[in-house]
Amino acid sequence: MRIYAAFVYLFLYIPIGVIALFSFNAGRHASQLQGFSVQWYGKALKNPFVMDALQTSLTVALVSATCASVFGTMAAVALQGMKGPVRVGFDLLIYVAVMIPGIVIGIATLIGLVTLFDQLNPALAAIWPGGAPPQLSMGYGSLIAAHTLFTMALVIIIIRARLAGMDRALAEASSDLYATPMGTFRQVTLPLIFPAVLAGFLLSFTFSFDDFIIAFFVAGSETTLPIYVFSSIRRGVTPEINAIGTMVLAASLVLLITSQVLLRTGRRRG
């Protein structure tokens, strides 16, 4: 089993290592290593199209991760107090949202938003006081909404796991001391689950920043960094693309490791 596991890990990580290695290529061909240089990292960071795509990805990831953390925390705390078939139904919806392939979520979100916009745009045109009414379309809003709905399920799962391991006697003691439900949440529950909330935020940010499939369907005229990379490799892989991929990989690993450290810290404190 160990040998089998070793082959699986090698199959997964050797291509990633090759991309990182060839990102330091001094030549212009991605498949021919002609010395080592960091010139492609500099060119990638000076490319205005890369910077625009990076700014779009960072904005969408930051806003969607914040929304997912806030709404996910509210949903997790509410579901923790529910019992019976209602809770089972919500649990099913949450886990289905995680298990459904991204392409299904992307297509469903696209159809749902297009249908909604077709209904709302004529209504806005009818009630708009004067001038050209705003037209709802795909863009930042659709990207943020789609990523928030997808990553919120991850936040709920993480926070509910933390709530399940929390000593409920602390919240009960707070209530016995005449604290309001909001006061108990603010002074007792939130400090205890905050590492899980922060870990959920980092995971949501990572998933949103790295997402290509859902963003491809709902981005409209906006270009995220994964979409830019996909569009670029259709013309051929260059060391600049390898450099971009390596930087994204490094940033994602840092965020994932940080989230795991926060979760472990939260469990030890609990």
Residue of 161, 193, 154 whose CA lies nearest to 184: 193
Say whether 25 sits in a helix, a strand or coil.
Answer: strand
pLDDT tens profile 133-187: 778 888 888 899 999 988 999 899 888 888 877 777 777 777 767 677 777 777 7
Task: Name residues whose C-beta falls within 8 Å of residue 204's C-beta, 6 or more positions apart in sequence.
Answer: 61, 64, 65, 68, 69, 72, 147, 151, 152, 154, 155
Please state the rounded mean pLDDT for residues 29-47.
80
Say whether 36 sits in a helix, a strand or coil.
Answer: strand
Q: Does the residue 44 lie in any domain? A: no
Q: What count of other Cβ atoms lies within 10 Å of the Cβ of residue 257?
A: 11
Dihedral sign computed on CA atoms, order 80, 81, 84, 90? negative
Distance CA 85, CA 70 (A): 25
Which ranges of the chain does DSSP label H, i.e. alpha helix?
Answer: 2-22, 39-46, 48-80, 85-99, 102-127, 140-164, 168-176, 181-184, 190-210, 213-218, 225-233, 239-269
Distance CA 183, CA 179 (A): 6
Q: Does the residue 82 lie in any domain? A: yes
Write the CATH number for 55: 1.10.3720.10
Q: Does the residue 31 lie in any domain? A: no
pTM of the model: 0.82
The number of domains in the chain is 1
Residue of 204, 221, 222, 220 whose CA lies nearest to 113: 220
Q: Does the residue 244 lie in any domain? A: yes
Say what the pLDDT of residue 270 is.
55
Q: What count of other Cβ atoms lies within 10 Å of the Cβ of residue 146?
A: 27
Tokens for 123? 């209504």
Kindly report which listed range (74-78, 104-108, 233-237) carries the lowest average pLDDT score. 233-237
Q: Does the residue 179 lie in any domain? A: yes
Q: Does the residue 106 lie in any domain? A: yes
Residue of 136, 195, 145 whose CA lies nearest to 165: 195
Q: Does the residue 146 lie in any domain? A: yes
Domain range for residue 219?
50-125+134-269
Q: Does the residue 166 lie in any domain? A: yes
Please state the rounded mean pLDDT for residues 194-214.
88
Residue 47's pLDDT band, with cuts at 50, 70 and 90, is confident
